[in-house]
Amino acid sequence: MIMSLLVYFLIGNYGSTGMLYGLDTWYLVLVIPALLLSLGAQALVKGTFSKYSQIGARGGFSGQAAARRILNQNGLTGIPIERTSGQLTDHYDPRGQVLRLSESTYDSTSIAAIGVAAHEAGHAIQHDEGYLPNRLRGLLTPVAQIGSSFGPYLAIFGILLSIPILTSVGIFLYAGAVLFYLITLPVEFNASHRAIRVLEDQGLLTDEELGGAKKVLRAAALTYVASTLVAFASLLRLILLSRGRNDRRR
């Protein structure tokens, strides 16, 4: 964050796009609204999870037990379920083929915990079935890591130093990260859809409890949508800044 603010300060008085207090107007118009939406989405998922983590499911299954049952029912008896520290740090590791549930999910018998555990089990099933969007996301992971870490800075410094090739490389790299975010959306939506379906089919939650689980998973999905919007807005900003710089040089 500090490095980002430094970069934005450095571009202070440059640009035909117009500046305000050291920040380009494209950042103010495009990125800040997306960031605010992202913060709102994070607050929503924490609030929703907190609410339904206080309501125990009548079936008495813990998050770990629910995930274990779902995995076993899909022939994934060899996938271990491990406890990991933190809250909402649940994830499936495709490389190690391990499902990790956070401390707030593993032993909890709440509606929220069971919904989250089922969602992560959905990712394990996706991996086992070779779900195409999930495979594409896996292939793009290295590109996304490089693009999100270096792309924006290369683009900004390319604009500052009037080196078009550097700007283009930075934008291209960051575009790869944005593509990763876009492909992540169907992966997450599908995992949630699988989770709700299996919870309903196996009777792990009642109809009323399913409504709460759906709210938790929808709130979580909104964070992915918001993150994608932030990434897309940032990419669009870089493109517009680059075009503005090119216009000035003519």
Catalytic pick from 120, 188, 208, 209? 120
Angle (CA) 243 247 250, round 5°: 140
Cα–Cα distance list, 145 to 78, 89, 92, 175 (Å): 30, 19, 18, 12
Residue type, 89: T
Other C-beta atoms lying within 10 Å of the C-beta of residue 70 = 26
Other C-beta atoms lying within 10 Å of the C-beta of residue 85 = 8
**120 a catalytic residue:** yes
**CB under 8 Å to 80, separation ≥6 — which residues?**
98, 99
> Could you tell me if 124 and 75 are in contact, meaning their C-beta atoms sit under 8 angstroms apart?
no
Q: What is the Cα–Cα distance from 213 to 198, expressed in whole angstroms?
A: 12
> Could you tell me if 64 and 117 are in contact, meaning their C-beta atoms sit under 8 angstroms apart?
yes
What are the contacts of 199-202 at 24+ separation with CB within 8 A?
199/66, 199/114, 199/115, 199/118, 202/69, 202/70, 202/73
Encode 198-207: b = buried (16+ Cβ within 10 Å), e = exposed.
bbeeeebbee
Nearest to 133, CA basis, from 176, 182, 97 = 182
Active site residues: 120
